[in-house]
Structure 1
Amino acid sequence: MVIFAKSHTDSRGCVKYKLNFSDRSAKSTVQYLISKGIAKDRISGQGFGESEPKVACKLCTEEQHAQNRRSEFLIVKK
């Protein structure tokens, strides 16, 4: 199985910072899984900042912000 880790942020703050932060988060997730025995060629990751919200909202509640801050795993190949 090949996995792609995606990290996301909420819509608050500087766009460039959030993209950088989410990318570091995704790479950290990848490194953690590699340290637990997952082969490097089976996992990769990328940060998407606020570009793919789980909950689309303009005036988000704290709960909606929390839902948008997340990491997801996609199975790229079985």
Structure 2
Amino acid sequence: MTRTQIYLPDDTHAQLLQIAQTGDQSLSQLIREGADMIIKAKSEGLTPTQKFVKAILSFPDSKRVKLSKSAVELIRDERD
């Protein structure tokens, strides 16, 4: 996880704290849940290929491998 800092309006912060306490969650958990919901909603409009590309691009460079041209062609043939 990456530590981050955000600024919230006072009333938003108070409402989120109340929701978190009612749901027996931490404020951080509630904010992460909300962020995940936004990401999921934005991703729903993507095609399977776009979702795949988005997932691949989210990998750190150290985890990526270079594919040969023939491997790329095989993947494209299977996709189409």
TM-score (norm 1): 0.30
* Greater share of residues in helix: 2
Higher CA-based Rg: 2
* Greater share of residues in strand: 1
TM-score (norm 2): 0.29
